[in-house]
Amino acid sequence: MTNNLPAGILNINKPAGLTSHDVVQRVRHILGIKKVGHSGTLDPLATGVLLVAVGQATRLIEYITPGEKVYHATFALGVETDTFDSDGEITATADPTAITRNDLQHAISQFIGDIQQVPPVFSALKKNGVPLYRLARQGKTVEAPPRAVHIGAINLLAFDTPHAKISVTCGAGTYIRSLVHDIGQVLGVGAHLTELVRVANGRWHINDAITLDALAQAAADGQLSCVLQPLEKAVAHLPTLKLSPAQIRAAITGQRVAAPNFAPAPIIAGVDEHGKLVAILVPAEKNQLKPKKVFQSIVPSA
């Protein structure tokens, strides 16, 4: 690495009530390092997997979480709010007692697959550079255009009128608050989210997540390496090329890497003989790769 500062990925079990930025600030304070960022924002109400990149790992945020996310969402039928969750103001009520489990199952089934979803107006999405939630709080009329999202599966875990709990497997960009709101609309009684847990984010699972208190304890005990995941895990899904000393010298000095026997791919993780990440590589001319981001600075001997 280019310095001795901590570098890696933290799988944090975000507590309710904190924004994702709040978690980043806590991690900065605990570790005494400014270079910290997160991947995959969670609302303050939500808990569960929040991936926090530390040090050089912040340069890998764009690669960290491809694939599907899994959420457990609890919601209440019969009450709508302006934020689509329990943090908002009530905008409508209805009697949900006639809704059966079959009714709910049928409504849920309509949202599986590729769908058009309208994000909540109280969201971090931006219009002309201004977050929608800020415009909404100013009383301005806000319209969030629909966008395509993919929902792979929705399973009904529990239903006891007016409360329900579902498991949602979905792609990036899906708003579970909007999904719950839309389910309520289909049922004709409204609904709002009351609890949300991100169980998995790509390869990262809540069973392996740590609390902020556990992180603080590990840092205090000098055991940070036990909870800080290496850079290589962030790019484990990418095609990997083991680099020779000559290829490493080329990559870390910004030169093209000769790779005549490597099948081209849009993005490649170049690693050394120990599996440590050297560079992110992209195709250049035929049989050559060029370094996009470099993570080692020590030139190996010939």
Return the number of other C-beta atoms located less than 10 Å from residue 219's C-beta: 17
> Helix, strand, or coil here: 122?
coil
Catalytic: which of 43, 85, 182, 272?
A: 43
- What backbone torsions phi and psi does residue 109 show, to the nearest 5 degrees? -60, -20
How far from each other are the two terminal CA atoms of the chain, in whole angstroms? 19
CA angle 120-121-123, nearest 5°? 75
Round to whole Å and give the CA distance between 99 and 95.
9
Q: What strand order describes the sheet that includes 240-242?
A: 240-242, 268-271, 277-283, 288-294, 257-258
Helices (H) and strands (E) in the chain, counts: 8, 18
How far from 166 is each of 103, 195, 254, 268, CA to CA, in Å? 14, 11, 49, 37
CA 68 and chain centroid, separation: 9
132 token code pair: 């929608």
69 token code pair: 């996310």
Round to whole Å and give the CA distance between 41 and 104.
28
Assess whether 221 carries a catalytic annotation.
no
Rg of the Cα trace of the chain?
23
Q: Enumerate the H helices of the chain as residue ranges.
A: 20-31, 61-64, 101-109, 132-137, 176-187, 212-220, 231-234, 245-252
Residues with catalytic function: 43
